[in-house]
Amino acid sequence: MAEVEDPSGRTLVRPLDAAPIVEAIGVSKRYGPTVALDNVRIRVDPDQSHALVGRNGAGKSTLVGILTGLRSPDAGEIRFSGAPAPPIADRAAWRSLVACVYQHSTIIPNLTVAENLFINRQPTERGLISWPALRRQARALLDRWNVSVSENARAGDLRIEARQLVEIARALSYGARFIILDEPTAQLDGEEIKGLFARMRELQAAGVTFLFISHHLQEVYEVCQAVTVLRDARHIISAPVADLPKGRLIEAMTGEQVHLPTADTGGRTLAADAPVALDVHNLSGEDFTDVSFTVRRGEILGISGATSSGRIGVAEAVAGLGGFTAGTIRIDQKLLPPDDVPAALALGVGCVPKSRHKQGLVLSQSVGDNTTMTINRKLGPLGFIAPRRKNELTRQTIVSLGVVTEGPDQLVSRLSGGNQQKVVMGRALASAPSVLVLMDPTAGVDVKSKEALLGVVERMRQEGKAILVVSGELEDLRACDRVLIMRHGAIVAEHKAGWTDNALVASIEGI
């Protein structure tokens, strides 16, 4: 209640606005020498979508860990609807207040949707799990929140966006009405993002509040009403999105005025006699058919399309990460066998894989070990890379890609998501490849680091590497000499440099 004076001089008592659904006050958190959060605050009002933005390593995921009770802050306080947060050990109480849907799903792929929804609280009949009741309850829950997914589907067969909706439904069934989405769109294509946003809006209308983390600032304007910016572990500003145009938002994130240059091919022409370094001929595999293209030295070729278009299958085949059943891949005229990473490495293919956790990094190893891993593999079991050389290479990577880390010896698992992605890029480059295959290379990377990373790609082109960029992200494709579009496993269009965003998006979406 607030005391207010009315014009006649009497003191009136009026209710304040509804309490924020969640509030963090003066929250600090250190990891050894790293200050991850320094006296940070945030206040999220009910029935809103509130964006949390900041550069890689700014502290966003750390704050999420604290808001979900997975980590305790060194100092500060969390309140839900005005009441103090439950003790860390009381998981059930936290679950009834808040949930976070991560990029890396917590759904168990080998269980059905129904089993995932009621894991550890299955309905029982005389001590036995009642499967019909389980399915019924799951269906009712999915219907209540309008999630059109079969309760009998194997969770691992669901598309990422459907999996996210199942996770949201599960959180809501525990009573939580505050859901955190940590980079939910990083693995989704245009259509899937539209679908997720439509569901977010519906849920918001039904009384659900979101905290939304994304490096795609246009998404912040599309689905959020308020935004909080963190920079270097500190709170910089909280404001309605309408009051913070994009230029000022980026300024708050970076601490400087930025003019984001749009990368383009600058009218460069490729030497007509540049040798072909990558030759893919009539390639067919699980989700692509009869795909042919070449990439010459000093050329950047893009391949785009929806996530299900087969573009990733093609890229993985070229990188040795996936098989093919017909056709050929030649690297500098030498045949590449299917599904053989060591062979691809030996022939000079460097790769940023789609999934940095499954195919990219060894989380339990250091930044330095991960960066130089491909060199060790290339040298073979008896190969040896001198510690001094290893350190030098790692430091180069840290500087040129702007990795926020304590140093080469820090474990990769201790880096923020975007900084892990930069290490994957550094690793792809360390083996001095002649062909680079980059799959969604800037996923999870902040606006400014994106520039640095794409700058490195341009440098690689100038050094005469053949580069294949396979991405759904227009920014990644701007520097390409040509962009091929795939749909249903086949190449359906080619766009020369100079395409407009509209034309490319229309082509990707098949309109």
Determine if residue 267 is left, alpha or beta; phi over 0 gives left, psi from -120 to 50 gives alpha, anything else beta.
left
* Six-digit token string for 420: 């892990």
- 56 in contact with ligand ATP (CB under 6 A): yes
46-85 residues near Mg ion, rule: CB under 5 A: 61
Among Mg ion, ligand ATP, none, what does residue 59 contact (CB within 5–8 Å per kind)?
A: ligand ATP
Please identify, among the stretches 287-295, 412-420, 428-436, 502-510, the one whose residues bind ligand ATP according to the rule CB under 6 A. 412-420
* CA separation for the pair 280, 380 (Å, rounded): 27
Instruction: Work out the angle at residue 500's Cα, subtended by the Cα atoms of residues 495 and 506, and round it to the nearest 5 degrees.
Output: 75
Q: What letter represents residue 479's amino acid?
A: A
Q: Rounded CA gap, 286 and 347, in Å?
A: 24
Helices (H) and strands (E) in the chain, counts: 16, 24
Overall residue count recorded for the chain in this entry: 511
> In whole angstroms, how close is the CB of 310 to ligand ATP at the nearest point?
29
Site for ligand ATP in 164-203 (CB under 6 A): none
Nearest to 312 by CA among 143, 486, 193, 183: 486
Q: Is 344 exposed, middle or buried (0-12, 13-18, 19+ CB in 10 A)?
A: buried
**Per rule CB under 6 A, count of chain residues that contact ligand ATP:** 19
Minimum CB distance to ligand ATP smaller for 115 or for 440: 440
Instruction: Give the nearer residue to ligand ATP in terms of CB position, either 151 or 476.
Output: 476
User: Whose Cβ is closer to ligand ATP: residue 38's or residue 339's?
Assistant: 38
> Of residues 179, 188, 415, 430, which one binds ligand ATP by CB under 6 A?
415
Which residues, 6+ apart, have CB-to-CB distance to 165 below 8 Å? 145, 147, 149, 196, 199
Q: Which amino acid is at 46?
A: P
- Using CB distances below 5 to 8 A depending on partner kind, what does residue 34 bind out of ligand ATP, Mg ion, none? ligand ATP
Q: Which is nearer to ligand ATP, 58 or 291 (CB)?
A: 58
Distance CA 294, CA 328 (A): 12
> Residue 411 has what DSSP assignment?
B
Q: Pick from 21, 23, 27, 62: which binds ligand ATP (CB under 6 A)?
A: 62
Distance from C-alpha of 141 to C-alpha of 64, rounded to nearest angstrom: 26
Query: Which lies closer to ligand ATP via its Cβ, residue 258 or residue 404?
Result: 404
**418 in contact with ligand ATP (CB under 6 A):** yes
**Options 23, 44, 59, 347; binder of ligand ATP; rule CB under 6 A:** 59
Determine, following the binding rule CB under 6 A, whether residue 58 of this chain makes contact with ligand ATP.
yes
Q: Could you say which of 304, 309, 371, 419 contacts ligand ATP (CB under 6 A)?
A: 419
Q: Which is nearer to ligand ATP, 59 or 313 (CB)?
A: 59
d(CA 290, CA 280): 10
CB of 34 to ligand ATP, least distance (A): 5
CB of 455 to ligand ATP, least distance (A): 18
Residue 20 partner contact from Mg ion, ligand ATP, none using kind-dependent CB cut-offs of 5 to 8 Å: none
Q: Which residues pair with 279 in a beta bridge?
A: 294, 330
In whole angstroms, how far apart are CA 212 and each of 102, 206, 270? 11, 17, 42
Specify the amino acid at residue 165: L
Beta bridge partners of 453: none
CB 45 within 8 A of CB 226: yes
Site track for Mg ion across 392-431, x = CB under 5 A:
------------------------xx--------------
Taking alpha carbons only, the member of 384, 382, 469 closest to residue 428 is 469
Rounded CA gap, 289 and 284, in Å?
Answer: 4
Q: What does each C-alpha distance from 110 to 148, 467, 489 come to in angstroms?
A: 20, 37, 27
d(CA 351, CA 15): 59
Task: Using CB under 6 A, pick the residue from 417, 441, 472, 489 that binds ligand ATP.
Answer: 417
Residue 99 Cβ, how far from Mg ion at the closest point, in Å? 17
The 420-459 contact track toward ligand ATP, x by CB under 6 A, reads --------------------------x-------------
Site for ligand ATP, residues 6 to 35, rule: CB under 6 A? 31, 34
Nearest residue (CB) to Mg ion, 417 versus 426: 417
CB atoms within 10 A of CB 264: 12
Closer CB to Mg ion, 147 or 361, in the complex: 361
Identity of the residue, 64 or 147, whose beta carbon is nearer to Mg ion in the bound complex: 64
- Smaller CB separation from ligand ATP, 57 or 298: 57
Report if residue 400 touches ligand ATP, rule: CB under 6 A: no
List the single partner that 415 binds among ligand ATP, Mg ion, none, CB under 5 to 8 Å by kind.
ligand ATP
Q: Contact positions toward ligand ATP, by CB under 6 A?
A: 31, 34, 36, 54, 56-62, 404, 414-419, 446
